[in-house]
Structure 1
Amino acid sequence: MELPSHLDAVRQSYDAVAADYARTVEGPAVALDPLSRAVLGAFAELVTSAGAGPAADVGCGPGKVTAYLSGLGVPVFGVDLSPRMVELARAAHPELRFDVGPMSALAAGDGELGGVLAFYSTHHLPPEELPAVYGEFLRALAPGGHLLLVTRVGDEGHQHRRYGYGGDSAPFDSYRLPEDRIAELLERAGFTIEARTLQAPEEGAKRPVAGFLARKPATAATT
């Protein structure tokens, strides 16, 4: 499918840095931090206990977190905008499914998914596009299905970077919203927020990380 110019730029950038990203951010020596393991474990338990359908890991990159969820017993597949990222994910985890595509148009029917994971993957979207993307997550989730969204937060910040992981020439735009603004947008989309976490910045990082565990109500209408 044809992508808007800003999403096409994101795709090209991640294609360019995919190998360095896989090695430095999701390499074997890079462990998930304890809080990430805790929230992913809670999400996995909710999805598997409900048995409402598979989970989609949107913006999955090279598939490390997709594989982690699979190891927790979650029927899961990955989706990423970057064909190169998906190529690396398929090579590293051939037992799992990985699709190329945007999170704004998931290859899932209405109410087909038991869970949606957006793990550090929505920050490249301009804030005005988030309502539609959150609505797409809601559409694809089964009633009672869960969304886990983890992202860096800030004060309506917009950052443009010219170089990506490993020093490759790759422009990146990222946006940091306040956590209360993200919560508001999720609720407006139709989600019920069941839990929130706020993690202090890692050493050398400038922005805290917020996590949102949200549920699609049993009577929610799709948007």
Structure 2
Amino acid sequence: MNTEEILKHVDHTLLSQTATWDEIRAICDDGVKYQTASVCIPPSYVAQAKEYVNGKTAVCTVIGFPNGYNTTSAKVFETEDAVKNGADEIDMVINVGWLKDKKYDLVENEIRAVRAACEGKILKVIIETCFLTEEEKEKMCEIVTSAKADYIKTSTGFGGDGATFDDVRLFKENVGADVKIKAAGGISSMEDAEEFLRLGADRLGTSRIVKIVKQSGV
């Protein structure tokens, strides 16, 4: 798999609490130059970034990020606001506590509510695998499939650990045919990126891949 093909699967990401507009603009420039799948940025920059990229790359943002314990109404409002501001893709964080309490209906209904607020935009559901048992991961594959989200995503990158090959394998074995996989957090080499894609990931949430490409002088 060549570099250009890998880049087409990258959500080029900057979600640092200290992110400035100059840094967000640089992420956008890179996303356009290297033809990444999207740029994934904080909600407060969506409108400005959308205008700046002028349709040259997709703008992705995050909802209920990074902890996921906002109320459903708050997540729905965030989503509606992001879509109004021009977001093309939404990455939402589940309520991990509800999952651990086995409140599966609440988890699924929240995903459905956010999906409705997306108004047809791509929805990725972050389940934060580093906090979950294998049983909980498998249950979330079932719930995300039932809720008809577009993607199941491993991690926020803020939870203490990121994507693993084993988690992508587990997702691939347990999600429905219409659900794609996003690996995110800790993807630090072209070799890892290629392996995640080979195992079944369709998107990679990372900032490092573009940095590697830039350092190589491409």
TM-score normalized with structure 1 length: 0.32
The structure whose residues are more often strand, as a share, is 1
Q: Normalising by the residue count of structure 2, what TM-score does the alignment of the two structures yield?
A: 0.32
Which structure has more relative contact order (CA 8 Å, sep 6+)? It is: 1
Q: Larger helix proportion, structure 1 or 2?
A: 2
